[in-house]
């Protein structure tokens, strides 16, 4: 993983892409003057299906009418040339048909719990107990230290364990006023208003004194208690990053995608994806968590869960389509998962309750490890042990758990051996998920 | 080896570790324990042999084994309450000493030594099944502790578990009394302390400070503090908007028969409007009524907390209140019979009861527990059967995290058990023994929170259950679940119609209600969550986390004890919390990591908005609307605000976008503030009370320096660095700007639009139609003061407290 793009290389890329010419003069000047190194490595996207998803109606299909009502009329769907299978449910046919070349489905993951918070924590940090950062936080800390938006969160499992800050930016409509914070921007069209709140010479004096003041604070920092020290570090880092926000402003679209998706659902996942891609394009963002809700269907499962899955699928499809339109789909590394899964069978209210055996989907464009489904469950949707190397059923093998998935993700991202990862060991056997 | 010593030690430990003990530095303050302003707390609370034993017990057995794996069942009210090992929760101040003695007693009992290891491994019969695996970290910790040395407590120093932990705050430097009062005033009252309040602490005693803090708790901004903080926990404001309106939830089933009494005529007026003007007016009237009605319905639980606290009623009433809160708008929905002088005043809140406003008859109220919004925010399903409500009731009000009990990994076979596992499978019963009776106490409330919402109004059981063989006519609860109750006490038959009122009484009588209240308000006062129990001794920072956790739990216990003995007065609790080092610690010895405790908490968007108003005398508002609170609206989400639905946790640390918000604030608002100030006589100003606009560094340097000093005092408080140096630097900034302007300013107008050079532009919104309004700055002092305010308001000390 190479994050060491230098300034010259960055400007060359800007020129090559035609972006430099499109930058306003001050920004171009700043790009030349700055030592900023934009991030252009893989963009790590964690997508949470909040509440516990029903993988037997998704990527680990069980064609048993007692488990899934759809099985009384239809069977498991297959894809030619792929081991990926899916249930005839929600938008699965469209979703898997279009995206399976980029997809590694891992089934039979034992979350070891049926409590939401514990399941969410285990799925996204790799540890059932408290205290570990999400993968997105860890990746951002490794690759994006110093970037102002290294970790863009949308309210998923965003524990950072202090390795990085996250940023919430669901509504960037006021972004311009923050990027150009010294300018009056409420004049509207047609009024040639005074542009700045303070003239340049005044701003220069203020900024010099601010820098001197911060230096005095930092000199006093060793005497402060830990919380104040941490706060001052955050303040200084945030200050350092603000000039870079101009880059973000170049990429956040003037028109944001609607909150209502093609099925008519209120679906913030689309806008989360759009803003995340803009943040990545700006070179300021390494990772993000996107969140889809509505999967905890203890009642009226078929209708409600199908709706939740369709929202998720609309969002994931939008992410890939928009990334493709922007020419950065080859940068996406996506992980989709949930707290755990749902029971292989219906309760009295036609709902499905909590079930620990779940699945995860990894995605990367045409990856060599993609277009596969691995991990095994029984017809009753119980996890089966697998050989960690061959991934075949092996009674002496290993039951997959979220810690294995997170360990694999760390390895895929090239951060498994980083000292930050070493601070949060997963103690998980290596599984050859990616060949 | 521990075995032989156990019986002997039991007596020694009990004798030595259950006494009163030394006072720890952060104890609740009293007249006899005044702290000098800014002084360093004394050190020297060295660990005795006894406290060392407690430390080892805490680190090696309690934290990694007993607390996460055993505590839930082996406590009063737990599934193993009748076993030979009954532990006390960390909220009991003597829990470590008590639990050590309990373990020693157990070990000393017949087969105790063998069983303490064999039972959690399920090698012998154990009601909780296998709790951890042989060779696991927990098992190894247990073995290690059993094999470890045993210290004697025979030195008889009279100390208990608090002694060693009291050293946590050794050598801490606290905010002095003035700084503590300022921080408290900004947090609780949204303002700076008054002169009288400052004078009231002039004697330098802690008791004066506590009294002054206690008296800050009134007024609109205290209510804001209460309701914002409560919503950060309860998240019921999810329904205070038009996307997920709470009002809509009440229409279901048509049970609130007067729900349309205000809105229907207004809607009719819209429908019958003859002209566009009439229609527009009617629409506006309907919109106003709908918006206020929805907000009134949605915020009722928060208003209840506000009412109880601001009227100095026992805080237990947030659960036991047999009334709900209504204003004129929600009063029309619920038809309570309360009358209001102004039927359009949304700020007039009164306690009320629903007598004939519900189709099912009078609604029994049980404070927050029976609140429509609380019940809807934590809805149920046919199979959830109110368990979520039980889980959250335990969490919010007793500080018991039932989901946290499921932390340990579970055997897949247990999770796959289909033989009514919540009742029969010990692995499941760990949680459900506690949770399900309380779920049963919610028996009268349907999935969305309506009382007895079955079609016939007899119960809230789902038709699918009632169609089965278990149901019997007249049942209110499931026969395949534990009976309604609380902590081992069954719901009396006489309370079946008002089971939540009974539950509320049970909960507030439970000793955990006090510690639950401390936990509920901890983030509001201290700006961070209570630490979870550290469970992984292999973590590199385990010792640090354990020390902080243990100290926090001890403080929770102490605060809870005082809260309980003081009659559940929340204001007293908040004042006690503000007196503690968690609120005040400014400096720490290098050897101690306070983590997220101490001064330096990040303000929320709402708190920052109030602080800016308090410091500057005015709201940071939109250019064209002086009532438009930018931090509450345009920048709310970017500044880490929550929507109580999809984003439910506030940003805990400042990021670049948040920094940029404060940067814009410091530039956008200063012109209007300075102009507004200098348009007033000195005596009426907030900030510029020492200078006139004719005072310059050249002709009145002393006044200017004094004004600079005052601005630092007001806006920064403690600069955290050398004050004189900061005063000098700020004066230098003012002088530099002023001198440069005198030499080079393109004009003396406060608004300047330079058509040839944008960099000379200076925007300021001026009142051009008012001849008396300030528009020019002939001495260039106003613009210089604006520059200084930008510098001061963009400082580190502003977004943090």
Phi/psi of residue A426, each to 5°? -100, -15
CB distance A112 to B410 below 8 Å:
yes
Residue B290 has pLDDT above 90, yes or no: yes
Residue-range definition of the domain harbouring residue A344: 42-173+246-422
> Do residues B661 and B723 both lie within one domain?
yes
SS3 letters across B119-142: CCCCCCCCCCCCCCCCCCHHHHHH
The answer on B265 and B141 residing in a single domain is no
- The one-character DSSP state at B528 is S
Contact A293 B646 (CB under 8 A): yes
Q: For residues A156-178, b (16+ Cβ closer than 10 Å) or e, as one string?
A: bbbbbbebbbbbbbbbbebbbbb
Chain B residues in contact with A259 by the CB 8 A cut-off are: none
Task: Write the DSSP assignment of B714-764 as a string of letters.
Answer: HHTSS-SS-HHHHHHHHHHHHHHHHHHHHHH-S-SBSSB--SS-GGG-B--
Give the count of beta carbons closer than 10 Å to the beta carbon of residue A9. 13
Are A55 and A98 found together in one domain? yes
Q: Are residues A48 and A28 in the same domain?
A: no
* Region B477-503 average pLDDT: 97
C-beta of residue B587 within 8 angstroms of C-beta of residue B518: no
Residue A21 sits in the same domain as residue A116: no
Asked if residue A397 is part of any domain, the answer here is yes
Q: B620: closest CA among B801, B798, B800? A: B798
Contact between residue A335 and residue A287 where contact means Cβ atoms under 8 Å apart: no
Is the domain of A23 the same as that of A134? no
Number of domains in chain B: 4
Task: For residue A373, tell me if it sits in a domain.
Answer: yes
Residue B232 lies in a domain: yes
Q: How far apart are the first and last CA of chain A?
A: 18
Residues A27 and A168 in one domain: no
- Under a CB-based contact definition with an 8 Å cutoff, are residues A309 and A90 in contact? yes
In this model, does residue B38 exceed pLDDT 70?
A: no
Q: Structure tokens of B79?
A: 């599934």
How far, in Å, CA of B117 to CA of B123, rounded?
9
Q: Does B9 touch chain A (CB under 8 A)?
A: no
For strands A357-364 and A354-355, give the pairing: unpaired
Residue A186 domain flag? no
Is A356 in contact with B759 (Cβ distance < 8 A)? no
Q: What pLDDT is recorded for position A18?
A: 31
Residue among A235, A353, A383 whose CB faces B654 most closely:
A235
Q: Are residues B786 and B752 in the same domain?
A: yes
Three-state DSSP state, B397: helix
Task: Tell me, yes or no, whether A31 and A48 share the same domain.
Answer: no
For residues A17 and A90, membership in a common domain is answered with: no
Answer whether residue B195 is part of any domain: no
* Residue among A118, A198, A245 minimizing CB distance to B667: A198
pLDDT of residue A114: 85
Residue A76, in any domain of the structure: yes
Candidates A118, A162, A183, A213: best to mutate against B (most CBs of B within 10 A) is A213
DSSP state for residue B646 in the 8-state scheme = S
Instruction: Find the length of chain B.
Output: 801
Name the residue in chain B with its Cα closest to that of A340.
B415
Let me know if residue B147 belongs to a domain. yes
Of B470, B460, B238, the C-alpha closest to B370 is B460
Task: Please list every residue in chain B whose beta carbon sits closer than 8 Å to the beta carbon of residue A169.
Answer: 637-638, 657
Instruction: Name the more confident of A188 and B518.
Output: B518
**pTM for this prediction:** 0.85
Q: Where residue A403 sits, what CATH number does that domain have?
A: 3.40.720.10
| Cross-chain residue pair A113–B598, CB shorter than 8 Å | no
Q: Kindly state whether residues B158 and B227 are assigned to the same domain.
A: no
**pLDDT tens, B597-609?**
999 999 999 999 9
B447·A165 Cβ contact <8 A: no
Distance from CA of B418 to the nearest CA of A (A): 10
Residue of B nearest to A119 (CA): B407
A13 and A135 co-located in one domain: no
Assess if residue A208 is contained within a domain. no
- As to burial, measured by CB atoms within 10 angstroms (0-12 exposed, 13-18 middle, 19+ buried), residue B23 is middle
Residue A190: inside a domain, yes or no?
no
Question: Per the CB < 8 Å rule, is A165 touching B736?
Answer: no
Q: Do B412 and A357 touch (CB under 8 A)?
A: yes
Q: From the list A174, A227, A237, which residue is nearest B600 (CB)? A: A227
Question: What is the arithmetic mean of pLDDT over B673-680?
Answer: 96
Last residue of a domain, one of B102, B137, B169: B169
Q: Residues B16, B85: one domain?
A: yes
The reply to whether A121 and A157 lie within a common domain is yes
Q: How far apart are CA B602 and CA B791, in angstroms?
A: 19
In a domain, B537, yes or no: no
Are A31 and A148 found together in one domain?
no
Please compute the mean of the pLDDT values over residues B158-184 and round it to a whole number. Answer: 74
> Is B544 an 8 Å CB contact of chain A?
no
pLDDT for B416: 65
Same domain, B332 and B384: no
Residue of higher predicted confidence among B217 and B39: B217
| Contact call for B640 and A168, based on CB within 8 A | yes
| Average pLDDT over every residue of B481-493 | 96
Question: Is the complex ipTM more than 0.95?
Answer: no
Q: Say if residue A320 is in the same domain as residue A286.
A: yes
Q: Is residue B203 part of a domain?
A: no
Q: Which of B509, B531, B565 is the last residue of a domain?
A: B509
Question: Same structural domain for residues B673 and B714?
Answer: yes
Domain count, chain A: 2
Whether residue B399 sits in one domain with residue B306? no
CB contact under 8 A, B791 and A201: no
Is B414 among the domain residues? yes
Q: Which residues contact B372 (CB under 8 A, 6 or more apart)?
A: B246, B249, B250, B297, B300, B449, B450
pLDDT per residue as tens, chain A (435 positions): 333 333 333 333 333 333 333 333 333 334 434 578 899 999 999 999 999 999 999 999 999 999 999 999 999 999 999 999 999 999 999 999 999 999 999 999 999 988 899 999 999 999 998 899 999 999 999 999 989 999 999 989 999 998 999 999 878 888 889 999 999 998 876 678 889 999 999 999 999 999 999 999 999 999 899 999 999 999 999 999 988 999 998 999 988 999 999 999 999 999 999 999 999 999 999 999 999 999 999 989 999 999 999 999 999 999 999 999 999 999 999 999 999 999 999 988 899 999 999 999 999 999 999 999 999 999 999 999 999 999 999 999 999 999 999 999 999 999 999 999 999 999 999 999 998
Pairing of strands A354-355, A287-292: unpaired
Evaluate whether residue B174 is within a structural domain. no
Domain range for residue B325?
220-368
**Domain shared by B138 and B224, yes or no:** no
Set of chain B residues whose Cβ sits within 8 Å of the Cβ of A49: none
Of the residues B451, B482, B509, which one is the last residue of a structural domain?
B509
Burial class of residue B313 (count of CB atoms within 10 Å of its CB; 0-12, 13-18, 19+):
middle
Band (B72; pLDDT cuts 50, 70, 90):
confident
Beta bridge partners of A48: A291, A337
For the cut 80, the answer to whether the pLDDT of residue B215 exceeds it is yes
**Is B386 found in the same domain as B317?**
no
* B696 has pLDDT over 50: yes
Contacts of B657 (CB under 8 A, 6+ apart): A148, A149, A167, A169, A175, A178, A245, B638, B639
Are B673 and B731 part of one and the same domain? Answer: yes
Cβ-nearest to B637 among A170, A178, A198: A170
Confidence check: pLDDT of B4 > 70: no
β-pair partners for A43? A332
CA dihedral B638, B641, B643, B646 (to 10 degrees): 70
Reported for B678-683, long-range contacts at CB under 8 A and 24+ positions apart, including other chains, are B678/B774, B678/B782, B679/B772, B679/B773, B679/B774
Is the CB of residue B783 less than 8 Å away from at least one CB of chain A? yes
Q: Is there a domain that residue A235 lies in?
A: no
B259 within a domain of the structure (yes/no): yes
Q: Are residues A25 and A73 in the same domain?
A: no
pLDDT on residue B122: 79
Q: Ramachandran region of residue B70, left (φ > 0), alpha (ψ -120 to 50) or beta? A: alpha
């Amino acid at each position: 993983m190479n994050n060491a793009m230098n300034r010259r290389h960055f400007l060359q890329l800007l020129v090559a892409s035609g972006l430099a010419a499109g930058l306003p003069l001050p920004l171009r000047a700043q790009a030349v003057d700055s030592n900023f190194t934009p991030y252009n490595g893989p963009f790590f996207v964690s997508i949470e299906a909040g509440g516990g998803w029903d993988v037997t109606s998704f990527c680990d299909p069980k064609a048993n009418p007692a488990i899934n009502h759809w099985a009384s009329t239809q069977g498991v769907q297959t894809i030619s040339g792929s081991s990926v299978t899916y249930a005839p449910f929600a938008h699965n046919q469209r979703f898997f048909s279009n995206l399976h070349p980029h997809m590694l489905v891992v089934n039979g993951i034992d979350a070891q719990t049926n409590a939401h918070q514990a399941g969410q924590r285990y799925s996204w940090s790799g540890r059932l107990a408290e205290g570990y950062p999400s993968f997105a936080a860890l990746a951002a800390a490794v690759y994006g230290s110093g970037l102002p938006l290294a970790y863009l969160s949308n309210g998923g499992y965003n524990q950072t364990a202090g390795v990085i800050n996250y940023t919430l930016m669901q509504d960037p409509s006021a972004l311009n006023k923050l990027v150009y914070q010294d300018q009056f921007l409420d004049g509207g069209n047609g009024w040639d208003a005074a542009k700045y709140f303070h003239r340049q010479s005044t701003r220069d004096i203020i900024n010099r004194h601010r820098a001197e003041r911060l230096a005095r604070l930092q000199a006093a920092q060793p005497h402060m208690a830990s919380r104040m020290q941490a706060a001052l570090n955050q303040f200084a880092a945030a200050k350092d990053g603000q000039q870079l926000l101009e880059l973000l402003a170049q990429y956040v679209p003037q028109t944001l995608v609607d909150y209502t998706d093609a099925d008519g659902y209120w679906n913030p996942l689309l806008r989360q994806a759009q803003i995340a891609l803009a943040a990545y394009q700006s070179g300021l963002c390494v990772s993000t968590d996107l969140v889809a809700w509505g999967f905890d269907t203890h009642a009226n499962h078929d209708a409600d869960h199908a709706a939740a899955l369709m929202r998720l699928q609309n969002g994931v499809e939008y992410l890939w389509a928009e990334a493709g339109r922007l020419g950065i789909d080859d940068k996406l590394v996506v992980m989709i998962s949930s707290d755990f899964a749902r029971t292989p069978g219906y309760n009295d209210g036609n709902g499905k309750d909590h079930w620990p055996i779940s699945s995860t989907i990894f995605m990367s464009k045409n990856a060599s490890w993609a277009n596969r489904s691995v991990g095994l469950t029984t017809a009753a949707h119980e996890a089966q042990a697998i050989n960690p190397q061959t991934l075949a059923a092996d009674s002496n093998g290993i039951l997959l758990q979220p810690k294995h998935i997170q360990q694999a993700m760390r390895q895929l991202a090239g951060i498994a051996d980083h000292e930050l990862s070493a601070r949060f060991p997963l103690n998980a056997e290596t599984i050859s998920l990616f060949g | 080896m521990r075995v032989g010593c156990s019986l002997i030690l039991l007596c020694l430990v009990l004798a030595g570790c259950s006494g009163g003990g030394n006072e720890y530095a952060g104890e609740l303050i009293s007249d006899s324990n005044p702290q000098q302003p800014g002084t360093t707390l004394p050190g020297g609370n060295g660990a005795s042999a006894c406290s060392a034993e407690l430390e080892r017990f805490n680190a090696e057995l309690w934290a990694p084994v007993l607390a996460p794996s055993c505590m839930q069942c082996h406590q009063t009210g737990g599934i193993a309450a009748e076993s030979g090992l009954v532990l006390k929760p960390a909220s009991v101040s003597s829990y470590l000493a008590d639990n050590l003695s309990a373990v020693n007693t157990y070990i000393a009992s017949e087969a105790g030594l063998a069983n303490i290891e064999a039972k959690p491994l399920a090698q012998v019969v154990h009601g909780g099944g296998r709790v951890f695996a042989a060779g696991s970290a927990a098992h190894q910790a247990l073995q290690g502790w059993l094999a470890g040395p045993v210290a004697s407590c025979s030195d008889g120093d009279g100390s208990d578990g608090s002694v060693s932990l009291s050293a946590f705050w050794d050598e801490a430097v606290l905010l002095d009394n003035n700084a503590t009062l300022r921080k408290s005033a900004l947090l609780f009252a949204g303002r700076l302390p008054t002169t009288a309040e400052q004078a009231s602490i002039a004697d330098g005693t802690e008791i004066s400070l506590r009294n002054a803090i206690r008296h800050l708790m009134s007024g609109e901004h205290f209510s804001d503090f209460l309701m914002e903080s409560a919503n950060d926990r309860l998240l019921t404001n999810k329904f205070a908007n038009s996307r997920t309106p709470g009002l809509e939830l009440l229409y279901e089933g048509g049970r609130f028969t007067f729900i349309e009494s205000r809105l229907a005529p207004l809607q009719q007026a819209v429908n019958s409007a003859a002209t566009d003007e009439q229609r527009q007016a009617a629409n506006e009237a309907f919109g106003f009524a709908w918006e206020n009605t929805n907000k009134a319905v949605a915020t009722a639980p928060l208003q209840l907390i506000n009412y109880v606290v601001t009227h100095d009623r026992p805080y237990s009433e947030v659960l036991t209140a047999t009334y709900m809160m209504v204003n004129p708008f929600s009063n029309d929905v619920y038809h309570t019979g309360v009358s209001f002088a102004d039927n359009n005043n949304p700020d007039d809140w009164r306690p009320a009861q629903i007598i004939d406003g519900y189709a099912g008859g009078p609604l029994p109220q049980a404070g927050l527990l029976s609140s429509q919004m609380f019940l809807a925010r934590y809805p149920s399903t046919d199979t959830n059967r109110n368990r979520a409500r039980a889980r959250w009731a335990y969490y919010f009000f007793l500080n018991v995290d039932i989901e946290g009990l499921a932390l340990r990994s579970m055997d897949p076979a247990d999770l796959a058990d289909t033989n009514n596992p919540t009742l029969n499978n010990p692995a499941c019963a760990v949680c459900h023994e506690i949770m399900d009776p309380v779920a049963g106490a919610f028996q009268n409330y349907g999935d969305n929170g309506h009382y007895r919402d079955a079609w016939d109004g007899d119960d809230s059981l789902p038709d699918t259950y009632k169609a089965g063989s278990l149901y019997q006519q007249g049942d209110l609860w499931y026969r395949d679940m534990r009976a309604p109750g609380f902590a081992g006490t069954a719901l009396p038959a006489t309370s079946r119609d008002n089971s939540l009122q009974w539950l509320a009484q049970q909960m507030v009588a439970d000793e955990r209600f006090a510690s639950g209240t401390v936990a509920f308000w901890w983030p509001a006062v201290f700006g961070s969550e209570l630490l979870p129990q550290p469970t992984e001794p292999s973590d590199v920072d385990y010792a640090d986390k354990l020390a902080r956790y243990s100290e926090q739990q001890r403080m929770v216990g102490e605060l809870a004890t005082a809260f309980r003995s003081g009659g559940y007065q929340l204001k007293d609790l908040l004042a006690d919390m503000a007196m503690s080092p968690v609120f005040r610690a400014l400096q720490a010895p290098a050897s101690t990591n306070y983590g997220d405790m101490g001064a330096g908490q990040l303000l929320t968007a709402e708190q920052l908005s109030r602080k800016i108003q308090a410091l500057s005398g005015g709201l940071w508002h939109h250019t064209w609307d002086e009532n438009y609170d930018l931090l509450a609206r345009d920048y709310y989400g970017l500044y880490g605000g929550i929507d109580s639905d999809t984003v439910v946790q506030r940003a805990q640390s400042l990021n670049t976008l948040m920094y940029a918000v404060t940067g814009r604030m410091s530039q956008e608002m200063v012109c209007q503030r300075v102009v507004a100030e200098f348009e007033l006589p000195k005596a009426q100003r907030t900030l510029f009370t020492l200078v006139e606009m004719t005072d310059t560094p050249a002709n009145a340097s002393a006044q200017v320096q004094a004004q600079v000093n005052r601005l630092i005092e007001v806006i920064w408080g403690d600069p955290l660095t050398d004050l004189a140096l900061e005063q000098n630097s700020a004066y230098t900034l003012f002088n530099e700007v002023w001198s440069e302007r005198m030499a080079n300013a393109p004009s003396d107008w406060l608004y300047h639009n330079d058509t040839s050079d944008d960099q000379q532009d200076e925007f300021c919104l001026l009142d051009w139609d008012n001849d008396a309004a300030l528009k020019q700055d002939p001495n260039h002092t106003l613009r210089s003061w604006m520059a200084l305010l930008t510098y001061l308001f963009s400082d580190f000390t502003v977004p943090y407290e």
